[in-house]
Structure 1
Amino acid sequence: MSAELNPPDATHRLLILLARLKLTEAQRQDALTLCNAIHDWHEVAGRAERHLMLPLVHRHLHELAPPTLSPADASHMRQRALMLVQRNLFVAGEQQRLVADILDPLDIPYLFFKGPALAARYYDEPAMRSCRDIDLLVPRHRCAELLESALQQGYRPLDSETLASDRQSLAFFVAAKSVVTLASPAGVSIEVHHEMDRGAGIYQTDALLDSRELFLAGGTRLYSMPTSELFVYICLHNTRHYWSHLHWLVDLDAIQRHPDFDLASAYACAERRGLVTTLDACMEFYRALAAPEPEHSSHLSQRSREILEVFFMTLQGGLEAELALRRKRPTRQFGFPWQTTPSYRWASRIRKWLKPLKPTYNDYHHLPLPPQWQWLYYAIRPYRALIKRTRFRWPSR
């Protein structure tokens, strides 16, 4: 491990150990031993809430009944956990409303990934998984239609205060952004994707939608990614974010416990996507976390140890630590150089250099042009940027 890295304290070690749906007998004993070192259970509840796994932590501790957890502390934790369970159910209800009010009436092919859809399909108690938003994938050519219907029904765009509701404006907005974020009338954030990997070329939207699978959640028919595909995707996505949220570890555990999961199928999927090294490292990392002191594991590869190190950094340093790590990652899609190739990294740099030249919705809002003339934005944009930077401002009186 890095010399500057502090090992986790007893509270973080306990939360890591509890980041799974079920505990083995050995893990139960290890958890009880760690509980003996806990002196502030309000701190445990606070960290569990920040790491998005308080309901599950409360369930485990209720079953373990450690002697050091007083009835008052247990009651405090239970009340906070129930509030989050209520929130999780509320977000799941908004997902069902989105299907019933927009997606099904418009007959738009879609799939949900992460969030309440993952919880509904793979968790024994879906409300145990904390969900802050909804992730939705739809075909790009149907996005403007979806947004138009959503705006008519009281959804709000969170990406732009100036977004017009006509179809041409919405089509340009979608073309300029790979993810559009809406707020439902009840205030739940919904990320509408038409690309899974923001242009990385790993996933093709049409192929993913063709392979989607149907399942029932609370009586509502929902579509999601095939289990193996989802498992590989969350390994990729969460490694890109340096495993900064503990509920992602629970996701790995929950999917592996599902009857549809097959590790050989997951590796076949990873082979097709060029993500075998990522899956290998994540599986080693996950198995190491089954022990109370994972940093002392003698069987970790160098890649898995790197994941473990950055995981400890984000666990202790929070969002600030994750943002610092993101500034050093080789591309937007990958957290580590060994996940990709030099040619891909060069292509990613070129895309990054060219990005400022791509028209934005602000360009369209400033000067709305019909589709046949929108190529002019590429010529106009550099001058607009220059004017914006050199604009003279009168001093305030």
Structure 2
Amino acid sequence: MTYPITRTVPHDVAAALLLLSRQRLSEDDKGHARTLLGKLDDGHQLIDLAHQKLSLPFVARHLDALKPDWYHPSQLRDRLNEMTLLGLRVSGAQMNFHRKCIAPLKVQHSYFKGLALGAQYYDQNGLRPARDVDLIVDRKQIRAVIDRAREQNYALIDNARTQRILTSERDIDAALRYERVANLISPEGVLIEVHEEIDKHQGIFYGPKILWQAEAVSIKTVPMHSLPHAVHFIYVAYHCARHVWSALHWLADLDAMRNHPSFDHDTVMRTAQDMGMEPLVEATLDFIEGSKRLPDELDPGNSRTDALLELCVLNLEGGSSVEHALRAQHTKYALPFDWLVSPRLGRKILRNRLRGRFRPSFKDYEAVPLPPALRHIYPVIVPVRKLMRGRR
């Protein structure tokens, strides 16, 4: 496949960044890292990319240990402190939200990614960067959670991008009715995403089962729940694929989970097979190892590992615009390659996407704000609006 992105990041910089973007290195990895770092003149591009791709805490940890000739901690101190302070703010926001809005209501919940993943799989609090909070709750309890949150001075917003605060009961009701994620801004200014599904209508991850199997986790002594171990690994692998490996703290997550004592390869593969995600998980496991030794030349046409590495390396060329350009090449399954899912799951995804064409969104409500008595006609209006947008 040909992508609309030109690769300009030097190979040694990209190889060093992928290798260092993980919690631990073996002795062989350290030797290879020393060789790569010794080829760099000053490390500025490596550090800039690590900051941009959210892996700076891992890279800094290894630079402190390996001490290449050009390295001075002052090169990254300010940016590392910035990420640490943000992580502390997010941590405080998550604990406060849980104490104020989840625990009092005894809500069935499961936090995922972010601090919950860090608490489960990392050996140092705060090592894993976090910018927001994600959790899934029983869909029957979302309204109660949002009502409680608003009483505690959390603001419900339309979406994470525009962040327009919703104040009218009619808008709030529509947002909770038509969106699968309720977006809150905490008093600390942190985005909290309350999900009823974690895979954007694809129907891959079954919410009730996730909640029933949730694992206990504590963040600074506050007891919470997180995704089951196998499901969490599969979800992060899926999330990486959808977002074409645009952030390298996800690579660190996968590496930390793969090397954690709780990782059971047979359970993960059995779960993935049941879900139709076995090809994705196999490719991801190969990618975790392959990213430690980035080849001089990639052969994506003949190597699935190289196909994933190519996307990851291309994403080093910029921010969200590069990710969007790469995601525009996604297949009908909203993934980079059809072979990442089984044919059975592929058919399920297509069925759910077809149903989604008739499902109204909050944007549809904003464009045509029907009163509750007329909302039953949205399934007729929605396909027409999508057809008209496609003709523009």
1:392 maps to which residue? none
Q: RMSD across aligned C-alpha pairs, in angstroms?
A: 3.1
Q: Which of the residues 199, 204, 210 maps onto 1:202?
A: 204
Q: Which amino acid aligns with 1:220?
A: V
Name the CA distance, whole Å, in 2 between partners of 1:79 and 1:95: 24
Q: Which amino acid aligns with 1:35?
A: L
1:163 maps to which residue? 166
TM-aligned CA deviation for residue 305 of structure 1: 2.2
1:245 maps to which residue? 247
Name the CA distance, whole Å, in 2 between partners of 1:22 and 1:384: 50
1:323 maps to which residue? 324
What per-residue deviation string (whole Å, max 9, x for no partner) do you get for residues 277-309 of structure 1?
001111111111122x33558999633222111
Name the CA distance, whole Å, in 2 between partners of 1:357 and 1:101: 29
1:185 maps to which residue? 187
Sequence identity percentage:
31
The answer to whether 1:369 aligns with 2:368 is no
Name the CA distance, whole Å, in 2 between partners of 1:380 and 1:351: 14
TM-aligned CA deviation for residue 261 of structure 1: 1.0
What per-residue deviation string (whole Å, max 9, x for no partner) do you get for residues 187-225 of structure 1?
111111101112212122111100101122201001001
> What does 1:1-397 align with in structure 2 at a 5 Å threshold?
5=7, 8-69=10-71, 73-159=72-158, 161=164, 163-164=166-167, 166=169, 170-291=172-293, 293-294=294-295, 302-331=303-332, 333-340=334-341, 341=343, 343-344=347-348, 346-347=350-351, 350-351=354-355, 353-355=357-359, 360-362=364-366, 366-369=369-372, 373-378=374-379
Kept after mapping to 1: 8 A contact 2:179/2:362: no
> In structure 2, do the counterparts of structure 1 residues 130 and 386 end up closer, same or farther at CA, with 3 Å as the change threshold?
closer
Name the CA distance, whole Å, in 2 between partners of 1:307 and 1:237: 13
Q: Which blocks of at least 5 consecutive residues in structure 1 are unaligned?
A: 389-397
What per-residue deviation string (whole Å, max 9, x for no partner) do you get for residues 149-199 of structure 1?
112221122316363464x75443222011122111111111111011122
Q: Which has the higher contact order (CA 8 A, sep 6+)?
A: 2
> In structure 2, do the counterparts of structure 1 residues 280 and 96 end up closer, same or farther at CA, with 3 Å as the change threshold?
same
Name the CA distance, whole Å, in 2 between partners of 1:99 and 1:328: 39
> In structure 2, do the counterparts of structure 1 residues 382 and 25 end up closer, same or farther at CA, with 3 Å as the change threshold?
closer
Q: Which blocks of at least 5 consecutive residues in structure 2 are unaligned?
A: none
> In structure 2, do the counterparts of structure 1 residues 382 and 52 end up closer, same or farther at CA, with 3 Å as the change threshold?
closer
Shifted more, 317-326 versus 93-102: the winner is: 317-326
> In structure 2, do the counterparts of structure 1 residues 110 and 343 end up closer, same or farther at CA, with 3 Å as the change threshold?
closer
Kept after mapping to 1: 8 A contact 2:197/2:207: yes
> In structure 2, do the counterparts of structure 1 residues 91 and 302 end up closer, same or farther at CA, with 3 Å as the change threshold?
same
> In structure 2, do the counterparts of structure 1 residues 45 and 345 end up closer, same or farther at CA, with 3 Å as the change threshold?
same
> In structure 2, do the counterparts of structure 1 residues 83 and 162 end up closer, same or farther at CA, with 3 Å as the change threshold?
closer
The two structures have a TM-score, normalised by structure 1, of 0.86
Name the CA distance, whole Å, in 2 between partners of 1:198 and 1:86: 30
> In structure 2, do the counterparts of structure 1 residues 308 and 384 end up closer, same or farther at CA, with 3 Å as the change threshold?
closer
TM-aligned CA deviation for residue 376 of structure 1: 3.8
Name the CA distance, whole Å, in 1 between partners of 2:128 and 2:195: 22
Tell me how many residue pairs correspond in the alignment.
Answer: 380
1:393 maps to which residue? none
Give the SS at the match of 1:182. Answer: strand
Kept after mapping to 2: 8 A contact 1:119/1:129: yes
